[in-house]
Amino acid sequence: MACSTSGNPETAGTFTQPVPYSDGQAGHFEQTGGLGTNESGGPIGVGDGWYSYNLGAWHLISLNIECETQPGGCANSGSWFAAELEWLKKDLEENRSNCTLAYWHQPVFSPTNSIAVPEGPTAVAFWQLLYEHGADLVLNGHDHLYGRYRPLDPSGKSDPKRGIREFVVGTGGETLDPIVNTTVKSGANETNLEDPTGNVNFNAENLEAGTGQFWGVMGLTLNENGYAWDYESALKDPAQPTGPASFSDKGIGVCHGSANRF
């Protein structure tokens, strides 16, 4: 990426952004080895981009679902994604925290009825392992809106006792996407549904709150045995003049607890 810095006398001119370090917090990164080429016609690298850390009573897991250009693609048996799943399984088995949160880009369940293919359906494998090991929260972006789901199992069924709650927060400034909570009219070979299992009423049944009318921010407080969220709108989309003048969504949740994992 070329960056102009003419306004800064200390770095005047144009320079090329440096190549990422081969090793870092997000894991190892090889400069070549991926599938295809990037927008500039250069080679696509192979990067892990998954790691975890503890924060108080919480175990936080950063996952990488950008699988399409990696060796083996997005198949669970593909060399790159299989290595990530193996790492995640081991990480969860060693986890002893009261609460667990994972985050990645494309959501498994989409408030705007637009699951990213192939990444969204592939991420169900994350959800399965997280569910089996008692995880509590998943944070996603990609959809340009705010959405909060009730706790769900890997098949998208409501599970108040063991289910994982998904938040989608993509209201940082891009053009907003609409919330879709009406019945989806699926056609032949339809894959672009809010639920990868094809439930045409999924959002109406499971989306507890959401908006595609406002840019804003969500605060998430991680407590010893639970969490609290507070989404507040900052600016309404001028292209959507009707409806409320602001939007807020607040609540609390309780973690499953470490006892569910041992």
For residue 5, tell me if it sits in a domain: no
Question: Tens digits of per-residue pLDDT, 173-200?
Answer: 899 999 998 887 655 555 556 777 778 8
For residue 101, tell me if it sits in a domain: yes
Question: Tens digits of per-residue pLDDT, 77-134?
Answer: 999 999 999 999 999 999 999 999 999 999 999 999 888 889 999 999 999 999 999 9
Question: What is the span of the domain harbouring residue 122?
Answer: 16-37+45-261
Q: Which residues pair with 58 in a beta bridge?
A: 55, 99
For residue 121, tell me if it sits in a domain: yes
For residue 7, tell me if it sits in a domain: no
For residue 8, tell me if it sits in a domain: no
Question: What sign results for the dihedral spanned by CA atoms 257, 260, 261, 262?
Answer: positive
For residue 97, tell me if it sits in a domain: yes
Query: Which CA distances in Å does 184 have to 61, 117, 193?
Result: 32, 17, 7
Mapped onto helix, strand or coil, the DSSP state of residue 92 is helix
pLDDT band at 261 (very low <50, low <70, confident <90, very high): low
Copy the structure tokens of residue 65. Answer: 């679902």
Q: Give the full edge-to-edge strand order of the sheet including 214-222.
A: 214-222, 226-236, 248-254
Q: Which residues pair with 29 in a beta bridge?
A: 47
Number of structural domains (the chain) is 1
CATH of the domain at 220: 3.60.21.10
Q: Name the residue among 68, 8, 75, 55 with its Cα closest to residue 223.
A: 55
For residue 199, tell me if it sits in a domain: yes
